Structure 1
Amino acid sequence: MQEKQKSEFLEWIKAIAFALLVAFVIKQFLFTPVLVKGASMMPTLEDHDRVIVNKIGPKFKSFDRFDIVVIQMNEETNYIKRIIGLPGDKIEYKDDQLYINGKKYSEPYLDQYKKEQKDTGSLTFDFTLEQYLGETTVPEGHYFVLGDNRRISNDSRNPEVGFIPKERIMGTTSIICWPIEHIDFRFN
């Protein structure tokens, strides 16, 4: 009887160890939850939302314009921002309008925020890459990112953040998994 209990106990230990290993592999290499801190991505993402980061393939592919990505700034800090400029792009904002390589782009994800704005000023103030970062185009292997809450976002316009190297991008996110009232599966 004791031998059977010992065997059953060992089977449970093996099952738990296997489950922990699978969970570790999934979190490390495939998907991981990230807590949104701050209001820089409002109204798309709110403070304390939890999102799922898709880590599959970011080292092997390039990212698309307007993807929402999680950036590892340092060991303790991740930023969640939207890719606006791809390598080689010339970015400019004029009269609250985005221009990429001289072409006007719409940003429908900002419409709600612009409607809720209390004043009549611009959501995104006029700028060029050269004004903020001393470059005319986004360098090869880098991205230019902005938060959706343009007035308060600490993003690529700040020289301390600057252009984001591809290696610092953990992955993309398109799933809000918590709180329940914010669950969304394609908010881009």
Structure 2
Amino acid sequence: MVAEINKSEKITLRDLIKTIIVSGATAGLFLMFFRIATVQGNSMDKTLADGDKLVLSTTLYKTEKPKYKDIVVIKRNDLPVKYIVKRVIAVEGDKVRIKDNRLYINDELVHEDYINEEMHTDDLEINVPEGKAFVMGDNRNYSTDSRSKEVGLVDCRSQIYGKVFLASNNFSKI
């Protein structure tokens, strides 16, 4: 006895092609606005760990400016690692001062529950100019960031690649 297959149960080549096209279009749209990245290193420890997968919005900063505490991926062709992950600490118009290992923004002491350990660094004072951001890693004692000449202030338009809004291993910390 041969079972008869209903027309609705048949998977046709046309259905397969439609599925592939819809899947491809969906993936293409996703990649127009978002990127996947992987954390390399420990400069963001406590918040992000080496190997964490990140979902970035690559278009958000085309319409708005970075804000204090945003976690961003910065593109730097001049560094050994092309992409670095840091936290925005200050934006244009802000005054950053580090005195006796304490961070002040616009002369107010900043309490940071997200940093890995107490910071040990040189004193610093800088005013953030228009279009720039001051960024730091959450693992302050092991982060190359805006405190160093190597990274310095970050250009918001040309160097910030995207804003992190999801991380694979610790969604609650972002």
Query: After superposition, where does 1:29-68 map in structure 2 within 5 Å?
Result: 29=33, 31-68=34-71
Aligned residues: 162
Residue of 163, 167, 172 corresponding to 1:176: 167
Question: TM-score scaled by structure 2?
Answer: 0.82
Instruction: Measure the CA separation in 2 of the matches of 1:15 and 1:153.
Output: 45
The one-letter code of the counterpart of 1:60 is: T
Instruction: Measure the CA separation in 2 of the matches of 1:124 and 1:55.
Output: 33
Instruction: Measure the CA separation in 2 of the matches of 1:143 and 1:124.
Output: 21
Between Structure 1 and Structure 2, the one with more helix by share is 1
| Bigger Rg, structure 1 or 2 | 2
Instruction: Measure the CA separation in 1 of the matches of 2:123 and 2:25.
Output: 48
Offset, 1:170: 2.4
* Map of 1:159 onto structure 2: 149
Give identity over the alignment, percent. 35
Checking the alignment, whether the CA contact within 8 Å between 1:93 and 1:124 is kept in structure 2 is no
Checking the alignment, whether the CA contact within 8 Å between 1:84 and 1:143 is kept in structure 2 is yes
Residue of 135, 139, 151 corresponding to 2:129: 139
Checking the alignment, whether the CA contact within 8 Å between 2:73 and 2:163 is kept in structure 1 is yes
1:13 aligned to 2:17?
yes
CA-to-aligned-CA distance 1:45-87 (integer Å, 9 cap, x gap): 1100112113352211111101111112239721110001110
The one-letter code of the counterpart of 1:46 is: A
Checking the alignment, whether the CA contact within 8 Å between 1:174 and 1:187 is kept in structure 2 is no
Note the residue ranges of structure 2 that are not aligned, 5 or more in a row: 1-6
Query: After superposition, where does 1:99-138 map in structure 2 within 5 Å?
Result: 99-110=104-115, 113-114=116-117, 123-129=119-125, 136-138=126-128
The one-letter code of the counterpart of 2:127 is: T
The one-letter code of the counterpart of 2:101 is: D
Offset, 1:28: 2.6
SS of residue matched to 1:173: strand
**CA RMSD in angstroms, aligned pairs only:** 2.3
Note the residue ranges of structure 1 that are not aligned, 5 or more in a row: 115-121, 130-135
